[in-house]
């Protein structure tokens, strides 16, 4: 049976994002981690050719080490008909819990628009169906573990249990682009108007941004806003009539901006890049998606190139390109050394030991707070007395009680672990 592609909003050639809930790219909970949900490859019907397909696969990609590694976590047949049993990678979302991501799907069923939500607790490999609603609904996973907002014509709801149950908090539908750092903290951009609220838009600030930094709608490409790595930091991406793509940065919640990235002019028909900020302050990415034509069988597959910037755009660290054809096998095993790294005791009152079991060799150990700030670090060459063999010890007794992230760098992987300081 011939299959024609009728929804292309999440192709690798997608031309931009409108809100955080309609993006096919998301930052993960760990520094240096991104997720992309898009069509992986298509094979045309041999008798009919484009736009008819014999096969069309969608995928969830996990990108780690600031773009260096790309793995396919999940893929599905776009032409499956049972949305209740098959999760389609569509709009990808993430909260502050390592390994947790969400997928929001918009589709028509029984002549009505529907929205479904799925959640994964293992970096996108297995998915659990959460709910289906009639009409267009939008989800906002907050920068808080397990906290998700749902908004639609029936009001705004919140969940503190990874979208398992929701409670009404506001009878109005909120319209936002990006969640901030706290509960009910949102940014939005309407035209050149920048909005920020920390009480779900009961009160908000409204600042008009200079046209040097935001233009508006350029052939269906709208400006978008992203939170930075620290409270008060925001990025804005915008297209301009000369087909340049600019990213601007504010450290004072939208009051002043400066350019941190300006592209060369793009041809209007060229593939458009994506922007995404990282959890680490000053780090962001420019991601370019391509369709690579295949001849045997006739179709195409995706390719991604990721520019990795540090220092708020001052330093282009590297560009990583990943060709992902049909039959792609993950070039690097999914953090193969994770089970070989032990962090203990957890919880801890002060001393934290990091051991490597096997071939992994430590290069660096860093501790981050919930805001992404580095609060402790050690070079394994500078070992302290009492270190276990093959590991290091780091003293975090001076830190306040709470949750922290430990990033362990070896010669072939980066592993992030949660620890609780008592």
Q: Specify whether 389 is located in the same domain as 257.
A: no
Tokens of 169: 């908090």
CATH of the domain at 100: 2.120.10
The answer to whether 287 and 309 have CB atoms below 8 angstroms apart is no
Q: Specify whether 262 is located in the same domain as 316.
A: yes
Residue ending a domain, among 266, 300, 324, is 324
- Upper half-sphere CA count for residue 44 (Cβ side, 13 Å): 14
Tokens of 402: 């709470």
Q: Specify whether 352 is located in the same domain as 273.
A: no
| Local structure of 104: helix, strand or coil | strand
Q: Specify whether 173 is located in the same domain as 302.
A: yes
Q: Specify whether 210 is located in the same domain as 73.
A: yes
The 3-state DSSP composition of the chain as helix, strand, coil percent (nearest 5) reads 5, 50, 50
Q: What pLDDT sits at residue 1?
A: 42
Q: Specify whether 52 is located in the same domain as 188.
A: yes
> Structure pTM?
0.76
Beta strands in 110-230 (DSSP E): 112-120, 128-134, 138-141, 148-152, 155-159, 167-170, 178-179, 186-190, 193-197, 205-208, 224-227
Contacts of 30 (CB under 8 A, 6+ apart): 64, 98, 279, 405, 407, 416
**Across the 422 residues of the chain, what is the mean pLDDT of every consecutive 10-residue run?**
41 42 89 95 90 91 95 88 78 93 89 92 92 92 91 92 93 89 90 92 93 88 92 94 95 96 87 92 94 91 94 94 86 40 78 69 77 70 46 82 79 70 83
Residue numbers of the domain that contains 110: 3-324
Q: What pLDDT sits at residue 372?
A: 65
Q: What pLDDT sits at residue 338?
A: 39
The answer to whether 94 and 41 have CB atoms below 8 angstroms apart is no
Which candidate, 83, 73, 78, places its Cα nearest to that of 36? 73
Q: What pLDDT sits at residue 7?
A: 38
Burial of 241: CB neighbours in 10 Å, binned 0-12, 13-18, 19+: exposed
Residue 302: enclosing H or E segment and its boundaries?
strand 298-310
| Local structure of 22: helix, strand or coil | helix
How many domains in the chain?
2
Which candidate, 78, 56, 59, places its Cα nearest to that of 297? 56
The answer to whether 258 and 249 have CB atoms below 8 angstroms apart is yes
Q: How many residues does the chain have?
A: 422
Q: Specify whether 313 is located in the same domain as 417.
A: no
Q: What pLDDT sits at residue 308?
A: 95
Q: What pLDDT sits at residue 327?
A: 84
CATH of the domain at 350: 2.60.40.3080
Residue ending a domain, among 282, 301, 324, is 324
State how far the Cα of 181 lies from the Cα of 419, in Å rounded to an integer.
Answer: 20
């Amino acid at each position: 049976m011939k299959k024609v592609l009728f929804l292309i909003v999440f192709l690798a050639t997608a031309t931009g994002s409108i809100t955080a809930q309609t993006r096919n790219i998301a930052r993960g909970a760990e520094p240096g981690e991104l997720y992309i949900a898009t069509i992986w490859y298509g094979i045309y019907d041999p008798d009919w050719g484009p736009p008819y397909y014999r096969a069309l696969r969608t995928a969830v990609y996990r990108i780690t080490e600031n773009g260096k590694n790309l793995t396919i976590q999940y893929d599905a047949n776009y032409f499956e008909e049972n949305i209740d049993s098959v999760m389609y990678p569509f709009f990808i979302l993430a909260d502050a819990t390592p390994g947790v991501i969400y997928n929001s799907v918009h589709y028509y069923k029984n002549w009505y628009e529907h929205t479904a939500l799925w959640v994964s607790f293992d970096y996108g490999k297995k998915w659990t169906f959460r709910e289906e609603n009639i009409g267009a609904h939008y989800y906002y996973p907050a920068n808080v573990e397990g906290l998700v907002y749902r908004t639609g014509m029936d009001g705004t709801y919140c969940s503190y249990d990874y979208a398992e149950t929701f409670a009404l908090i506001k009878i109005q539908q909120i319209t936002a682009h990006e969640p901030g750092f706290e509960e009910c903290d949102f940014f939005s951009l309407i035209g050149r108007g920048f909005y920020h609220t920390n009480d779900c838009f009961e009160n908000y600030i409204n600042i008009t941004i200079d046209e040097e930094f935001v233009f508006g709608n350029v052939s269906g490409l709208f400006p978008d806003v992203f939170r930075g790595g620290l409270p008060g930091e925001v990025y804005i991406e915008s297209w301009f009539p000369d087909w340049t793509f600019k990213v601007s940065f504010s450290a004072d919640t939208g009051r002043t901006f400066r350019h941190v990235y300006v592209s060369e002019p793009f041809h209007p028909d060229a593939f458009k890049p994506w922007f995404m900020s990282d959890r680490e302050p000053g780090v962001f990415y420019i991601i370019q998606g391509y369709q690579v034509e295949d001849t045997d069988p006739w179709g195409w597959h995706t390719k991604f190139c990721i520019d990795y910037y540090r220092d708020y755009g001052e330093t282009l660290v590297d560009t990583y390109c990943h060709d992902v054809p049909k039959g792609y096998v993950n070039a690097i095993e999914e953090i193969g050394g994770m089970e070989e790294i032990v962090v203990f005791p957890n919880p801890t009152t002060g001393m934290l030991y990091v051991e490597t079991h096997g071939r992994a060799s430590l290069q660096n150990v860093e501790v981050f707070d919930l805001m992404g700030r580095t609060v402790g670090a050690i070079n394994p060459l500078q070992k302290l007395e009492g270190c276990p063999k093959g590991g290091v010890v780091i003293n975090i007794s001076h830190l306040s009680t709470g949750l922290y992230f430990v990033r362990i760098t070896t010669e072939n992987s980066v592993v992030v672990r949660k620890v609780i300081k008592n």
